Amino acid sequence: MEKNDYMELFHQMLLIRLVEEQATLLYQQGKIGGFLHLYIGQEAVSSGLLSTRQPKDRVITAYRDHGVAINCGIPVKVVLAELLGKVTGCSEGRGGSMHMADVRLNFWGGHAIVGAHLPIAAGLALGDRYKGSDAVTICMFGDGATNIGYFHEALNLSKVWNLSVLWVCENNHYGMGTSVERASAVSEIRQKAEGYLIPNSCVDGMDVMKVREAAQKAIETVRESKTPYFLEVETYRFKGHSMGDPERYRTSEEVKRWQSEEDPLGIYNKYLLENKIASPEEIDALEKAAEQEVQEALQFADSSPEPVPEDLYKYLYVEIE
Ligand SMILES: Cc1ncc(C[n+]2csc(CCOP(=O)(O)OP(=O)(O)O)c2C)c(N)n1
Ligand SMILES: [Mg+2]
């Protein structure tokens, strides 16, 4: 990795943190409709994972998707515009928080139904197999999704058909209000992949360098072996499941401990300094520039127009020329 690559990784994580903090304020101001699931605490997962993908590799995720969208290359101003329901958003304001997508960037969304995008990932990979492409489909989902039927159907088919899917479980220890231990018969999630003879491993998701290394290996294993692989990433969400979660299922001490000892931005900041990759001044400058970038993006999103009512029925059907 060159110095620029290290700095870009920090930049990506910072952008996600800052966008999510802005989203919190915008939601409190009533400017965001529907639900809002924040990625704060999990920045190192998608930043590390997607820093190693090739443009032909497809990405698909659940509803906690703002960070994934940014890592896939959707500009911050376009993500914020989508959150505000503006026509300049990546789904022209029709998708909102849970339905970020841009297939030109090979980002296949943002899906609200728990587990339902796993069979779609299998389908994307089946399409690539037909075309003779060596692209890998990277499918991200939560621990909760592994208790859903779709998960088992999709893993089974990926093995039966030898599909090039990297299954990535973001184990943040909780579903909507239930811990893994209470909801899942198997609390070491990666064991579920054993049931389908899919090779697997687990990595610390708070350390972006560890995620990157594990992801690089996993993606190349899938590309070369043309069979699925399962990567469990252990992480933690620092905020509630969505806005307005009373969080009765965990203690504030537990949350504070993760926030102070396991902050992915803090861990990577320390890594950059200790390995003399960046000076404190360079890190400060990067932080200031990212803040400025997000402020400008916010102005763009806020001043963008809303979709017009006449376009309400647009995109219901494919228009054939
Ligand atoms: C099929 C289905 N059942 C229930 C829900 C309600 N629901 C939304 S998120 C969620 C929990 C999912 O947890 P997990 O997969 O661990 O993802 P996380 O929120 O932790 O990222 C539930 C039950 C849903 N969206 N879809
Ligand atoms: Mg979870």
pLDDT digits (tens, 9 = 90+) for 124-138: 999 999 999 999 999
pLDDT at 321: 77
- Each residue of 241-256: pLDDT tens digit? 999 999 999 999 999 9
Write the burial class of residue 217 (CB in 10 Å: 0-12 exposed, 13-18 middle, 19+ buried).
Answer: middle
Decide if pLDDT at 222 tops 90.
yes
**Closest ligand 1 atom to 114 CA:** 26
Question: Longest C-alpha distance within the chain, in Å?
Answer: 59
CA 56–ligand 1 middle distance (angstroms): 29
Ligand 1 atom index nearest CA of 112: 25
Residues within a 6 A CB radius of ligand 1 = 64, 112-114, 142-145, 172, 174-176, 241
Q: How confident is the model at residue 81 (pLDDT cuts 50, 70, 90)?
A: very high
**Percent of the chain topping pLDDT 90:** 96
- Whether 315 has a pLDDT exceeding 90, the answer reads no
What pTM does this model have?
0.97
Give every CB contact of residue 173 below 8 A, 6+ residues apart in sequence: 143, 179, 180, 236
> Does 317 or 17 have the greater pLDDT score?
17
Q: Residue 233's pLDDT band (boundaries 50, 70, 90)?
A: very high
- How far apart are the C-alpha atoms of 58 and 68, rounded to whole Å? 12
pLDDT tier at 77, thresholds 50, 70, 90: very high
Residue among 35, 63, 65, 114 to mutate when testing ligand 1 (max atoms within 8 A of CB):
114
pLDDT band at 317 (very low <50, low <70, confident <90, very high): confident
pLDDT, tens digit, 9 for 90 and up, residues 26-58: 999 999 999 999 999 999 999 999 999 999 999
Chain segment 133-156, per-residue pLDDT in tens: 999 999 999 999 999 999 999 999
- The string of DSSP codes covering 156-211 is HHHHHTT--EEEEEEE-SBSSS-BHHHH-S-SSTTHHHHTTT--EEEEETT-HHHH
> Sheet holding 165-171: strands in order across?
58-60, 137-142, 165-171, 229-234, 200-204
Give the amino acid at 256: K
Instruction: Give the pLDDT band of residue 316 (cuts 50, 70, 90).
Output: confident
- pLDDT, tens digit, for every residue of 7-31? 999 999 999 999 999 999 999 999 9
Q: For strand 200-204 and strand 165-171, is the pairing parallel, antiparallel, or unpaired?
A: unpaired
Whether residue 106 has pLDDT greater than 90: yes
pLDDT score at 319: 78
pLDDT at 249: 97
Pocket test for ligand 1, best of 176, 249, 250 (most atoms within 8 A of CB): 176
How much distance in Å is there from the Cα of 170 to the middle of ligand 2? 7
**C-alpha–C-alpha distance, residues 320 and 161, integer Å:** 33
